[in-house]
Amino acid sequence: MILRKGPAAGNKLRPASLITGPNPPVFFNPNQTLPVSVSGEKCSLDCAHCRGHFLKTMKTLPEVLGKSSDKANSFLVSGGCDREGRVFLPPEDDLPRLASKGRLNFHVTLIDDEQLAEIIPWAHTVSQDLHGDDRVIREVLGLEKSFADYSASYKRLWSRARVIPHILIGLGGEEFTGEKRVVKLLENYPPPAVIFLVYLPLVKSPLTPQKPPPLDKVIDFLGWAKSRLEGVPLVMGCMRPGGKYRTELDCQVLDLGFSGLVQPSCSFQSPILSKECCALWDW
CATH number of the domain residue 115 falls in: 3.20.20.70
| Domain assignment of residue 4, yes or no | no
Report the C-alpha gap between 170 and 211 in whole angstroms. Answer: 9
The dihedral through the CA atoms of 202, 136, 192, 98 has a sign that is negative
Confirm whether 12 is domain-assigned: no
What span, in angstroms and rounded, lies between the C-alpha atoms of 232 and 192? Answer: 7
How far is 132 from 168, CA to CA, in rounded Å?
10
Whether 9 maps to a domain, the answer reads no
**Alpha-carbon span 260 to 142, nearest angstrom:** 32
Residue 110 lies in a domain: yes
| Residue range(s) defining the domain that contains residue 100 | 19-280
Asked if the structure places residue 14 within a domain, the reply is no
Angle, helix 177-188 to helix 147-158, in steps of 10 degrees: 30
For residue 224, tell me if it sits in a domain.
yes
Query: 3-state class of 154 per DSSP?
Result: helix
**What's the farthest any 2 CA atoms get from each other in the chain?**
54
Q: What span, in angstroms and rounded, lies between the C-alpha atoms of 165 and 151?
A: 11
For residue 6, the tally of other CB atoms under 10 A from its CB is 9
Separation between Cα atoms, residue 87 and residue 138, nearest integer Å: 17
Write down the pTM of the prediction: 0.91
What is the chain's pLDDT, residue by residue, as a tens digit (283 residues)?
A: 233 456 776 775 544 434 445 578 999 999 999 999 887 767 656 665 665 566 677 899 999 998 765 679 999 999 888 888 888 899 989 999 999 999 999 999 999 999 999 999 999 999 999 999 999 999 998 999 999 999 999 999 999 999 999 999 999 999 999 999 999 999 999 999 999 999 999 878 888 899 999 999 999 999 999 999 999 999 999 999 999 999 999 999 999 999 999 999 998 989 999 999 999 999 9
Q: Specify the number of domains making up the chain.
A: 1
